[in-house]
């Protein structure tokens, strides 16, 4: 029996908060002084949101909320759903409402680079995950965009999983000391991941009750050796220097996860246009 994938959806309070922040930033203390000067407050119009380039859609709830924040009676009808792959010139949605609202909310929407990375590793066991390298205030939205593109989320913050990095190890005086302290104070529901950059460090880490290892900046040969050494005992994550050109060979080493910071800190927004009827 096939399992139907869960529908992608952002919590309403996150949508409202993000839209309010974006509109407040754009409107400042005076509002849209151009539209207010040219357009009657009672004028209405219809428009289409069209993709200027091919891409994956994410953030339709945000787009709809942007128009409704300025005109509660605005009608927003989407032609596609979040995570849909669209070609250039595809109509994404139609919107009808007060002309000023349509003009003022035009630039508030989101999409993702993740689908290209997911496609590059298709046929391997590797899953694509993001990192905490996100735009301040937009982490939930950018991680949502990663899910819409077919990827998965790494931890959301410092609070929901333990990741022992090189600086923790150095400050504690060594890997064994860091893990001894950490394991003594960790609750049974908290996952522990350890960053290693050599096979010796990996071997040392595997003597502790950890859940995952982050194989940092290892070349393909070392990644293969690490996967063989681990032999399925913990989750393996490759990270560092991952690009669309290198990711396929990394995935073919047998790692479980590949984390890519560029999915959030360098992903371009899909080019969309509001076309007037």
Q: Which residues are catalytic?
A: 107, 133, 165, 195, 216
Cα-based angle 141, 145, 151 (whole degrees, multiple of 5):
130
Taking the alpha carbons at both ends of the chain, their separation in whole angstroms is: 46
Order of all β-strands in the sheet with 235-239: 127-129, 257-259, 235-239, 212-216, 192-196, 162-164
* Distance between CA atoms of residues 133 and 239, nearest Å: 13
Helix or strand or coil: residue 233? coil
* Distance between CA atoms of residues 245 and 57, nearest Å: 24
DSSP β-bridge partners for residue 264: none
Cα-based angle 138, 258, 184 (whole degrees, multiple of 5):
85
Dihedral sign, Cα of residue 135, residue 136, residue 137, residue 140: positive
Q: What ranges in the chain are assigned the alpha helix state H?
A: 12-27, 33-38, 60-70, 99-104, 114-120, 139-148, 166-172, 175-185, 199-205, 220-230, 247-251, 262-265
Helix axes 60-70, 12-27, angle to 10 degrees: 60
């Amino acid at each position: 029996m096939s399992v139907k994938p869960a529908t992608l959806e952002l919590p309403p309070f996150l949508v409202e908060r993000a839209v309010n922040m974006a509109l407040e930033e754009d409107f400042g203390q005076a509002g849209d002084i151009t539209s207010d000067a040219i357009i009657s407050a009672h004028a209405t119009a219809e428009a289409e949101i069209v993709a200027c380039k091919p891409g994956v859609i994410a953030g339709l709830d945000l787009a709809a909320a942007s128009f409704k924040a300025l005109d509660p009676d605005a009608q927003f009808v989407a032609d596609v759903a979040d995570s849909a792959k669209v070609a250039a010139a595809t109509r994404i949605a139609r919107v009808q409402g007060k002309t000023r609202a349509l003009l003022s909310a035009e630039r508030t929407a989101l999409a993702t680079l993740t689908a290209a990375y997911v496609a590059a590793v298709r046929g391997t066991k590797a899953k694509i995950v993001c990192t905490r390298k996100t735009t301040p205030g937009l982490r939930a939205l950018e991680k949502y965009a990663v899910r819409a593109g077919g990827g998965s989320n790494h931890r959301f913050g410092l609070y929901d999983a333990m990741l022992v990095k090189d600086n923790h190890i150095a400050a504690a005086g060594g890997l064994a000391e860091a893990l001894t302290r950490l394991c003594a104070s960790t609750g049974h529901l908290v996952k522990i991941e350890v960053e290693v950059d050599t096979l010796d460090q990996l071997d040392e880490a595997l003597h502790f009750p950890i859940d995952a290892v982050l194989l940092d900046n290892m070349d393909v040969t070392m990644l293969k050796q690490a996967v063989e050494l681990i032999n399925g005992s913990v989750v393996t994550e490759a990270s560092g220097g991952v690009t669309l050109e290198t990711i396929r060979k990394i995935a073919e080493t047998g790692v479980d996860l590949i984390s890519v910071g560029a999915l959030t800190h360098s992903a371009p927004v899909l080019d969309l246009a509001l076309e007037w009827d």
